[in-house]
Amino acid sequence: MADDAEKRTNSSEQAGRDYRDTVFLPQTDFPMRAGLPQKEPQILARWEEIDLYNTARKTRQAAGAPLFVLHDGPPYANGAIHIGHALQKTLKDFVVRSRFAMGYDVDYVPGWDCHGLPIEWKIEEELRGQGRRKDGVSKAEFREKCRAYAGQWIGVQKDGFKRLGVLGDWENRYATMDYGSEAAIVAEFHKFVASGQLYRGSKPVMWSPVERTALADAEVEYHDHVSPTVWVKFPVTQGSDAARGASVVIWTTTPWTIPANRAIAYNESIAYGAYLVEAMETDLAFEPWARPGDRLILADKLAEEVFKAAKVAKWRRVETIDCQGMVCEHPLAALDTHYAFSVPLLAGDHVTEEAGTGFVHTAPGHGADDYVVWLAHGHREIPETVDADGAYYPHVALFGGLKVLETEGKKAGKFGPANNAVIDKLIEAGGLLARGRLEHSYPHSWRSKAPVIFRNTPQWFIRMDEPLDTPQHGGRTLRETALEAIEATAFYPEAGRNRIRTMVESRPDWLISRQRAWGAPLAMFVDKETNQPLHDPDVDARIIEAIAAEGADAWFTRPVTDFLGAHDPERYEKVEDILDVWFDSGSTHAFTLEGRENTRWPADLYLEGSDQHRGWFQSSLLESSGTRGRAPYNGVLTHGFTMDENGEKMSKSKGNTVDPHQIIRESGAEIIRLWAAMVDYSEDQRIGKTILATTSDAYRKLRNTLRYILGALAGYSDQEAVALEDMPPLERYILHRLQVLDGEVRDAYAAYAFQDVIRPLIAFCQEDLSALFFDVRRDALYCDQPSALRRRAARTVMDAAFERLTVWLAPLMPFTTEEAWTMRFPEAGSNALRVFPETPTAWANPGEAARWAKVQAVTAVVTGALEVERREKRLGAALEAAPVVHINDPDLLAAFDGLDPAEVFRTSQATLSAGEGPAQAFRLAETPAVAVEPLRAQGQKCARSWRILPEVGSDRRYPDLSLRDAEAVAAWDAAQGGAGA
């Protein structure tokens, strides 16, 4: 308070004139508050107007720039964009814009995945809503509805992506449902047919009775589900003496598969024994199915558990059992001769003794392991027991027509009567030992959420392990080709290589057929006599031509004679299955990187979420390896998933989702972009309120730095520029920092390490510019004459910093840098078209860097000393101080050669002194050679610069100014026509 009063008195005594007008304060229209939600759409409109993407391409092409191809992984055209989309498209845009800035011609065609079950399901839902049954709608109409639905979402998503500032060839976006794409996909399929990589197999596949379709692994999700469990006795008919008269007990959660049973699997490393039931539990509410005297064969480790379930109170192990060569009869054999076949015991490693009985009921048509072990023992016949609706075929004795799952109405997805019917018959036949219920993880359809079953179906597969006799393959199998391609690909991060390799090494043949409507067809004919696909290039050409003209519908609606030509229609079966959507997306490279201008196959980069190791990276790899003998990409970059603020997965039910539209509405797309730039995208990232607030703070720091530079550069032109050799040390240091950053920024962008761009740049703005350069140079910028070398040098360096910051940050923050650039250079064209400017190597100056490290160390002691004075209320502003700084280290002292210590310390005056300094002087442990006496500045306060100097008053024209300020005002007054005090 006393100080304030004193200051007022001082200034009022000398208040001859208000010098404010003569001070060169920062001047700019660049607002401190961004107003991004309003401003971004204006900038987008401007980009649209100048056709930024194509202009950039043409400019680069005219300059003979090298090509960079980023091939877009197609999002599914269903639903609004979520934060995961936003992250991914933003990262892609970082790549596109940074490659443009590095001088490349960048090809980026956004695309959409359109076919498939989720859209079919939506349309079915829509039809149900209208009270129409799917059967009452023609396939053509159904597909038309799917097409319209996908088209609508492409529009919505495209708008969302463009709003994020994503640059690309939106006009020529690709879609897997475009007629040309469908034709290309089918042409790719024909290549597999022609090279003999396709075969028709019979295999139990995941089947959804509710949707009447086979499901890919990716279409299945696991949920807890309560199933009935049964322990079933299979009487032994062949085996050791101990085994005969006993029953092998199996345990299953799918009683309905018992009619399909053909074998029992056991494990040779499990110990089995024959057990005699001696007594049952008493006081049971029901009559148990086991009886004293029963002889049961079980894994020793599991016997107790089984007896508990069967309510057996007392039992005795009779003998060790060797399962090899044992044969049983089917538990329903007594009820119907249909089941009068032998049930062999087969050894299999998949059998464990963790739960059950140590024996696995084996129905080759209803389980993957069952199928494998069945084939491994030389069997070929796979019984077909259940139809597409999940009902037993009529030929299945005792159960014909019964449904495993309900498929219609409210009970759709619930168990049908099959389970209970089988259990009842088992009881009747005396084959049931015990029953129960179990909650376990069970496969469900990703779409309908209904349980799925394993069902034996004829399907089309691409072989993984057949040696291929084509020029590209040279006898290698598809698996070998793909594995070699993985080794030839760059992975960011490197761990992705191992991940996809493991999957490709162990994956089964590629099941590509689906019994659905909305997709590209397996457009081929099969010879009914040989069961082989028809190979006729003319037929294929007619198919492709028709699909290219009319879409996939042509295959389904045109008469077969249109395609077959001279071939006998009676002899050929037309395949009406459609292709797995992964085959579609795996073929995008074929119709996006080939047959277009100014692009190249293979792509430089595929960039997707880490889930796509199983998905698009792999489907593209297999498709391309099968047809072209290598991957369609040279590099693969993966990002993690976006979690909530606590690192937990987002879900609508948890209510922890973050909506990109809301962020855009409240803060702007730039904030999403900056967030994406600052996090480690290769791992899972987090987003939420706190994190977005932190991001906005970082944004403000960058924005204010640009704003201050813009303000300080008001009226700057190149004529003012100072040559490097005339620069003061501080400016040389800043130029050195720019030179270092130039290399760091280029390297980081080249390696897609956006964090390594933004982190150093934020630190540079904070530490070097704001806290050092701007703070030290404020006095010169505000008060030196425009002609003063010091001020001109500072502005020259600010110009260099502005030129670089705006372009280095442009790929990450295109909106703000565009705003700043056009604010300063309205006629210079879009900032987004600029290339990283060369930064002279002559700017590199490690000597200055070393000097300023020392200067900063000394400054820290000075500020420490002043801080103590402030705390003691002896000092306010640093300009009130005139510290005496004792430096007992010649090296540290020499760092101040050519520097004005008062300017560096931002005090009014300062004195450097060699030597140890008085004992009571302020010291810091880190810099023991420096001792500071924080004296008050003597003299009068300059009314213009506010520095306190003894010289104030010595220019009689301006008695309240320092000499420098007096000269500056004199020049100012002269320029204004002599007006003065």
Partner RNA sequence: GGGCCUGUAGCUCAGUUGGUUAGAGCACACGCCUGAUAAGCGUGAGGUCGGCAGUUCGAGUCUGCCUGGGCCCA
Residues 314-373 that bind RNA (CB under 7 A): 368
Residue 615: C-alpha distances to residues 516, 582, 612, 648 (Å) = 20, 7, 4, 23
Among 8, 46, 128, 701, binds RNA (CB under 7 A): 701
Among 871, 898, 956, 979, binds RNA (CB under 7 A): 871
Asked if residue 157 binds RNA (CB under 7 A), the reply is no
- Spatial neighbors of 877 by CB under 8 A, at least 6 apart, are 946
Q: What angle do CA 151, 154, 157 make, to 5 degrees?
A: 150
> Per CB under 7 A, which region of 158-166, 283-291, 684-692, 971-979 contacts RNA?
684-692
Token pair 């923050």 is found at 813
> Per CB under 7 A, which region of 593-601, 675-683, 728-736, 808-816 contacts RNA?
675-683
Among 119, 187, 607, 878, binds RNA (CB under 7 A): 878
Restricting to residues 9-38, which ones interact with RNA according to CB under 7 A? 19-20, 23, 25-26, 32-33
> Per CB under 7 A, which region of 162-170, 469-477, 802-810, 868-876 contacts RNA?
868-876
Among 726, 775, 891, 900, binds RNA (CB under 7 A): 775
Distance (Å, whole) CA 395 – CA 213: 22
Site mask for RNA (CB under 7 A), range 32-71, x = bound: xx--------------------------------------
> Per CB under 7 A, which region of 99-107, 258-266, 478-486, 776-784 contacts RNA?
776-784
Q: Are 165 and 533 in contact (CB under 8 A)?
A: no
Token pair 């204006």 is found at 42
* Cis-peptide into 344, omega within 30 deg: no
Residue 918: C-alpha distances to residues 2, 145, 814 (Å) = 31, 89, 55
Distance (Å, whole) CA 881 – CA 520: 80
Asked if residue 763 binds RNA (CB under 7 A), the reply is yes
Q: How far is the CB of 241 from RNA (least distance, A)?
A: 37
Q: How many residues bind to RNA according to rule CB under 7 A?
A: 76
Q: Are 577 and 460 in contact (CB under 8 A)?
A: yes
Helices 669-678 and 83-101, packing angle to 10 deg: 80
Pick between residue 295 and residue 824 the one whose CB is nearest to RNA. Answer: 824
Pick between residue 547 and residue 783 the one whose CB is nearest to RNA. Answer: 783
Pick between residue 19 and residue 104 the one whose CB is nearest to RNA. Answer: 19
Give the residue among 607, 614, 968 at the shortest CA–CA distance from 781.
968
Pick between residue 633 and residue 681 the one whose CB is nearest to RNA. Answer: 681
- Spatial neighbors of 648 by CB under 8 A, at least 6 apart, are 654, 656
E strand segments, 154-240: 174-175, 198-208, 213-214, 220-238
Q: Are 438 and 229 in contact (CB under 8 A)?
A: yes
Asked if residue 697 binds RNA (CB under 7 A), the reply is yes
Among 141, 680, 747, 916, binds RNA (CB under 7 A): 680
Pick between residue 8 and residue 528 the one whose CB is nearest to RNA. Answer: 8
Kindly state the tokens that stand for 794. Answer: 């500072």
Asked if residue 694 binds RNA (CB under 7 A), the reply is yes
Distance (Å, whole) CA 455 – CA 441: 19
Q: Are 77 and 148 in contact (CB under 8 A)?
A: no
Q: Are 493 and 680 in contact (CB under 8 A)?
A: no
Q: How far is the CB of 956 from RNA (least distance, A)?
A: 21
Kindly state the tokens that stand for 315. Answer: 């039992």
Run of H or E including 67: strand 67-71
Pairing type for strands 247-252 and 295-299 reads: parallel
Residue 800: left (phi > 0), alpha (psi -120 to 50), or beta?
Answer: alpha
Residue 572's SS3 state is strand
Q: How far is the CB of 442 from RNA (least distance, A)?
A: 9
Among 641, 789, 833, 903, binds RNA (CB under 7 A): 641
Restricting to residues 590-629, which ones interact with RNA according to CB under 7 A? 610-611, 613-614
Among 385, 685, 796, 830, binds RNA (CB under 7 A): 685
Restricting to residues 200-219, which ones interact with RNA according to CB under 7 A? 217-218
Site mask for RNA (CB under 7 A), range 708-727, x = bound: x--x----------------
Q: How far is the CB of 704 from RNA (least distance, A)?
A: 4
Asked if residue 220 binds RNA (CB under 7 A), the reply is yes
Q: How far is the CB of 647 from RNA (least distance, A)?
A: 4
Q: Are 903 and 730 in contact (CB under 8 A)?
A: no
Distance (Å, whole) CA 593 – CA 599: 6
Pick between residue 369 and residue 424 the one whose CB is nearest to RNA. Answer: 369
Among 101, 277, 421, 698, binds RNA (CB under 7 A): 698
Run of H or E including 514: strand 513-514
> Per CB under 7 A, which region of 156-164, 479-487, 524-532, 685-693 contacts RNA?
685-693
> Per CB under 7 A, which region of 253-261, 742-750, 760-768, 791-799 contacts RNA?
760-768
Helices 478-487 and 616-628, packing angle to 10 deg: 110
Q: How far is the CB of 389 from RNA (least distance, A)?
A: 24
Tally of CB atoms within 10 A around 595: 11
What single DSSP character describes residue 340? Answer: -
Run of H or E including 922: strand 922-924
Site mask for RNA (CB under 7 A), range 409-448, x = bound: --------------------------------x-------
Q: How far is the CB of 368 from RNA (least distance, A)?
A: 6
DSSP of 408-449, one letter per residue? Answer: SGGGTTSB-SHHHHHHHHHHHHT-EEEEEEEEEEEEEETTT-
Pick between residue 651 and residue 787 the one whose CB is nearest to RNA. Answer: 651
Restricting to residues 495-554, which ones interact with RNA according to CB under 7 A? 495, 498-499, 502-503
Q: How far is the CB of 61 from RNA (least distance, A)?
A: 36
Distance (Å, whole) CA 972 – CA 412: 88
Asked if residue 700 binds RNA (CB under 7 A), the reply is yes
Asked if residue 774 binds RNA (CB under 7 A), the reply is yes
> Per CB under 7 A, which region of 169-177, 279-287, 331-339, 874-882 contacts RNA?
874-882
Give the residue among 356, 254, 266 at the shortest CA–CA distance from 302.
356
Kindly state the tokens that stand for 85. Answer: 């989309």
Tally of CB atoms within 10 A around 768: 19
Q: How far is the CB of 443 from RNA (least distance, A)?
A: 7
Among 539, 643, 727, 801, binds RNA (CB under 7 A): 643
Pick between residue 151 and residue 876 the one whose CB is nearest to RNA. Answer: 876
Q: How far is the CB of 482 from RNA (least distance, A)?
A: 16
Q: How far is the CB of 873 from RNA (least distance, A)?
A: 7
- What is the Cα Rg of the chain in Å? 39
Restricting to residues 737-756, which ones interact with RNA according to CB under 7 A? 755
Q: How far is the CB of 775 from RNA (least distance, A)?
A: 5
Among 489, 588, 625, 705, binds RNA (CB under 7 A): 705
> Per CB under 7 A, which region of 229-237, 466-474, 596-604, 758-766 contacts RNA?
758-766
Restricting to residues 910-949, which ones interact with RNA according to CB under 7 A? 943-946
Among 313, 575, 789, 877, binds RNA (CB under 7 A): 877
Determine the length of the chain.
981
Residue 582: C-alpha distances to residues 113, 523, 620, 684 (Å) = 9, 16, 8, 25
